[in-house]
Amino acid sequence: MPEPQGPMIVGEPSSGARADDDLLRGLNPPQRDAVTYRGQALLIVAGAGSGKTSVLTRRIASLLRNREAWPSQILAITFTNKAAGEMRERVQQLVGDSAQSMWISTFHSACVRILRREAQQFGFTKSFTIYDSGDSRALIKRLVKEHEADAFGLTPASVQGRISKLKNELADAESFARQANMSDPAERLFAEIFADYQRALQKANAFDFDDLIAQTVYLFRAFPHVADVYRRRFRHVLVDEYQDTNHAQYALIHELTRPVVGDAEPYAAGGMMIFEASEAPELEGASLTVVGDSDQSIYAFRGADIRNITEFERDFPGAKVVLLEQNYRSTQNILSAANAVIGHNFDRKDKKLWTDVGDGDPIIGFTGYSQHDEAQFVADEVEALRRKGVDYAQMAVFYRTNSQSRALEEILIRSAVPYKIMGGTKFYDRAEIKDALAYLVAVTNPADELAVRRILNKPRRGIGDVTETTIARYAADEGITFRDALANASALGVGPKIQHAISHLDAVLAEATEIMLPSSGEVAPPAAVTEGLTLLLNKSGYLDALRISKDPQDEARVENLDELVAVTREFARNNPEGTILDFLTEVALVSDADDLDDASGSVSLMTMHTAKGLEYDAVFVTGVEEDLIPHRISAGEPGGPQEERRLFYVALTRARKRLYLSLAMTRAQFGEVSVAMPSRFLQEIPHELIDWRQSPGDVNSRGGSRSRALNARRPGGGFGGSGGGGAGGSGGGRYGDDLVPLPRREKPVGSIEKFANRIPAKVRDNSDLELAPGDRIRHDDFGDGRVDMVTGEGAKRVAHVRFDSAGAKKLLIKIAPISKL
């Protein structure tokens, strides 16, 4: 990491309270301020790459070293588990093992921890399930159907989105119903579904992602004595990526940093708590440190409120603000491009990143004819960098939408480039994994009807819709849970075969329960999760069904389940005290993107959103096209284009040394090929910063129908590795009307640079340049040469030039970087 790193102090701060001098070493003045300031509220405005993690970890270390805080009094919140893990590790390097007792976690994990402890205060049990968005969608889908709401234009997706938004604003079904226009049937229906959804969650003893935050806030507000426990405990609250907090998260922070007013009698049953204004607080609020950068706010779509950071000073009067503008990550070229792009957002505090490491390499641009062509460019450059000694792990490829990864993967596989997709289709999203987890949930949280229904007929047991409904009705009539109804199969009035199937499932679940949650009350051994899961998968017949199946994919499913079993073993090893609940919590909240370490040796592929907070020596930003970045859907939304620009800015600023921007002229979407336009953001970058290997102009000027020439040379399955080859080698001349041909991309043998063709996109305009055969010209890259002839008309005039050293080339006069001598 290029961040300033003082000498590491490893191990215990053995010699008692120590000055924090060593923590400040290598920091610039504002960074020092940020570490040493002591007060109620501190806002660190940290531009990309300005060393904020260093500052945050040293600030924590300094609090501990100076004995201003115990580890247990510190709560540090990040957005991803990965960021949390990284922070913990770095704090540990500074202060040693005492880092273990700090809460360094995401909003969601911290809330789960609190909720598991306090759930019984308000009608949940500690075994509650966490519904991911797929689970909640399944539930909402059922409700939408029940209410026949699709007739009013309510789709599961729109309902889910709205509910999520409302929860992020701390609105519940009741408060929504109060202010909604109930004369509109669609609104009324939505309000009913919202209320039903919430009831269903409560009944299932489950929280969705948004509830984890919102319900914690409710808990604190409804039970001040509970909140006080945490207020007393956490004396220093630090929040990273503050610009991406939503209202609920903001409220949570507020609740946590409130002064402790007094020893209100606990469990004041129904009584009002009255706090007299004159009464001095028993304990002042915890100190709050937030770190953020409004230019990197990219989560407005899920409720992040940029005002949380822009109005921090108003929210916390007397707050100190520290500005970090010096960048320790990227070269000046990269920063200049990023500054130029973000500068197009009006309505922002001007802030310019700078560095003293020098300009560095130019940004490389490339326009492919198709997404595969573009991908091939990426693969070739990756290999070229590798040969120059750059590790695969130090390269990353970004894209706007997950669907773009397909073409990249195809080509990378073909080119034998090792890669890893970060946070793509998640392991835990696979159907068989979700089934297995549903089995576990059915055991730990029998109230979770959704989970029990999910496994009811997996594997096939002959239990269909009709039987499922019968069970549900029986449960409702008897006033028991769906799960308990399974124990009375004989009372359901179904056929003997089905009866037997249900009883068998019930028995298997009961047996697993005995293993993982022994009725004797003793604590289950660490291996219980593994043992229980294995039992469930085997005795339920789930694995057998997959093994017998003829579907070739089912083999892979068995392997995935084996891996899940391995995960439980690993979990038991790492968490000797870990229970089945801890395991389920972890898999619900930990995403694949979090395990960064085993990306070693591979190129990382990820969306631009996932890229936030990461950095790489070389970064490829792909699909820099209109309708992709900025994405078409965001164009119409207020603030959409600006958020997209910030997203692009985030992508650019991930690069340390080399930045590649690429796009494709055509892109297959919906199975159809459509023509793509260069992104407007491309033109916001000063053109002298980009060195185009192949510019949009090059590709455009060939006239529509020839663009498959390149692909035609690349047969689908079978070019051997024999590389190089083919037509590409010797430049100019042989390509009919084609302009400077693309170099062969499969296995570049020689220097790619010799094919370089710098034509800035849409910036240069040589329309007025008159050239005639015999004229001497100078080209930015190819040097001097003589014009052989000029063909074409108007904007499409092409000069055929014989360069003194670079050979024959065809150049589109309008945009070629040439001048007459």
Catalytic residues: 52-53, 240-241, 296, 654
Site for DNA in 279-308 (CB under 7 A): 298-299, 301-302
On whether 49 is known to bind a ligand per the annotation, the reply is yes
Site for DNA in 634-673 (CB under 7 A): 634, 637, 669-671
State which residue, 20 or 625, has the beta carbon closest to DNA: 625
Q: Is 284 exposed, middle or buried (0-12, 13-18, 19+ CB in 10 A)?
A: middle
Site for DNA in 670-709 (CB under 7 A): 670-671
Using CB under 7 A, pick the residue from 33, 132, 293, 531 that binds DNA.
132
Phi, psi of 347 (to 5 degrees): 65, 35
The two tokens of residue 535 are 């039992």
Q: How far is the CB of 138 from DNA (least distance, A)?
A: 9
Site for DNA in 438-477 (CB under 7 A): 457, 460-468
State which residue, 316 or 542, has the beta carbon closest to DNA: 542
State which residue, 53 or 136, has the beta carbon closest to DNA: 136
Using CB under 7 A, pick the residue from 245, 257, 296, 607 that binds DNA.
607
On whether 52 is known to bind a ligand per the annotation, the reply is yes
| Residue 245 in contact with DNA, rule: CB under 7 A | no
Binding marks (x or -) toward DNA, 404..443, rule CB under 7 A? -------------------x--------------------
Span near DNA by CB under 7 A; candidates 73-81, 365-373, 569-577, 678-686: 73-81
Span near DNA by CB under 7 A; candidates 102-110, 724-732, 758-766, 793-801: 102-110
Q: How far is the CB of 327 from DNA (least distance, A)?
A: 24
Q: How far is the CB of 469 from DNA (least distance, A)?
A: 8
DSSP string over 414-430: HTT--EEESSSS-GGGS
Using CB under 7 A, pick the residue from 402, 481, 488, 711 that binds DNA.
402
CA separation for the pair 633, 679 (Å, rounded): 14
Q: How far is the CB of 188 from DNA (least distance, A)?
A: 23
Q: How far is the CB of 669 from DNA (least distance, A)?
A: 6
Using CB under 7 A, pick the residue from 28, 36, 133, 534 that binds DNA.
133
State which residue, 81 or 326, has the beta carbon closest to DNA: 81
Q: What is the 3-state secondary structure (H, E, C) of 453-515?
A: HHHHCCCCCCCCHHHHHHHHHHHHHHCCCHHHHHHHHHHCCCCHHHHHHHHHHHHHHHHHHHH
Using CB under 7 A, pick the residue from 8, 268, 633, 749 that binds DNA.
633
Residue 670, Cα to own-chain centre: how many angstroms?
Answer: 24
Q: How far is the CB of 660 from DNA (least distance, A)?
A: 20
Phi, psi of 270 (to 5 degrees): 70, -15
> Residue 207: which of 275, 156, 139 has the closest Cα?
139
The two tokens of residue 294 are 């409004």
State which residue, 141 or 747, has the beta carbon closest to DNA: 141
* Residue 630 preceded by cis peptide, ω within 30: yes
State which residue, 109 or 330, has the beta carbon closest to DNA: 109
Residue 9, Cα to own-chain centre: how many angstroms?
Answer: 32
Is 516 strand, coil or helix?
Answer: helix
State which residue, 444 or 607, has the beta carbon closest to DNA: 607
Using CB under 7 A, pick the residue from 20, 79, 443, 682 that binds DNA.
79
Q: Is the CB of residue 102 less than 8 Å from the CB of residue 72?
A: yes
Is 243 strand, coil or helix?
Answer: helix
Span near DNA by CB under 7 A; candidates 478-486, 555-563, 575-583, 601-609: 601-609
Span near DNA by CB under 7 A; candidates 79-87, 340-348, 435-443, 678-686: 79-87
Q: How many residues bind DNA (CB under 7 A)?
A: 46
Q: Is the CB of residue 758 less than 8 Å from the CB of residue 781?
A: yes
Using CB under 7 A, pick the residue from 151, 157, 186, 476 that binds DNA.
157
Q: How far is the CB of 564 from DNA (least distance, A)?
A: 19
Phi, psi of 63 (to 5 degrees): -60, -40
Site for DNA in 20-39 (CB under 7 A): none
State which residue, 5 or 457, has the beta carbon closest to DNA: 457
Span near DNA by CB under 7 A; candidates 198-206, 278-286, 440-448, 588-596: 588-596
CA atoms within 13 A on the CB side of 377: 29
Using CB under 7 A, pick the residue from 80, 330, 333, 367 that binds DNA.
80
Alpha carbon dihedral 24, 26, 29, 30, in 10-degree steps, equals -80
State which residue, 92 or 610, has the beta carbon closest to DNA: 610
Q: How far is the CB of 533 from DNA (least distance, A)?
A: 23
On whether 53 is known to bind a ligand per the annotation, the reply is yes
Q: 127 vs 206, 444, 506, CA distance in Å?
A: 9, 6, 20
Q: How far is the CB of 151 from DNA (least distance, A)?
A: 13
Q: Is the dihedral of CA 668, 670, 676, 680 positive or negative?
A: negative
Span near DNA by CB under 7 A; candidates 373-381, 397-405, 478-486, 795-803: 397-405
Q: How far is the CB of 230 from DNA (least distance, A)?
A: 19
User: What is the CB neighbour count within 10 angstroms for residue 254?
Assistant: 15
Q: How far is the CB of 7 from DNA (least distance, A)?
A: 33
- Which run of H or of E encompasses 663? strand 655-664
State which residue, 33 or 240, has the beta carbon closest to DNA: 240
* Residue 459 preceded by cis peptide, ω within 30: yes
Q: Is the CB of residue 361 less than 8 Å from the CB of residue 335?
A: no
Instruction: Write b or e for each residue in 699-733: b if 16 or more Cβ atoms lie within 10 A of its Cβ, otherwise e.
Output: bbbbeeeebebbeebbeeeeeeeeeeeeebeebbe
Binding marks (x or -) toward DNA, 726..765, rule CB under 7 A? ----------------------------------------
Helix, strand, coil shares, percent, the chain, to 5: 50, 15, 35
State which residue, 117 or 460, has the beta carbon closest to DNA: 460
DSSP string over 50-76: S-HHHHHHHHHHHHHHTTS--GGGEEE
State which residue, 35 or 651, has the beta carbon closest to DNA: 651
Q: Is the CB of residue 345 less than 8 Å from the CB of residue 648?
A: no
CA separation for the pair 717, 715 (Å, rounded): 6
> Residue 8: which of 93, 66, 77, 73 has the closest Cα?
93
Span near DNA by CB under 7 A; candidates 342-350, 356-364, 395-403, 795-803: 395-403
Q: Is the CB of residue 648 less than 8 Å from the CB of residue 341?
A: yes
- Rg of the chain in Å (alpha carbons): 30
Length of the chain: 821
DSSP string over 79-111: SSHHHHHHHHHHHHHHHGGGGGGSEEEEHHHHH
Using CB under 7 A, pick the residue from 455, 589, 650, 689 that binds DNA.
589
Site for DNA in 469-528 (CB under 7 A): 498
Using CB under 7 A, pick the residue from 59, 88, 108, 454 that binds DNA.
108
Q: How far is the CB of 415 from DNA (least distance, A)?
A: 20
Q: Write out the binding residues.
A: 46-53
Q: Write out the binding residues for ATP.
A: 46-53
Give residues in contact with DNA (CB under 7 A): 79-81, 106-109, 132-133, 141, 157, 209-210, 298-299, 301-302, 401-403, 423, 457, 460-468, 498, 589, 591, 593, 606-607, 609-610, 631, 633-634, 637, 669-671
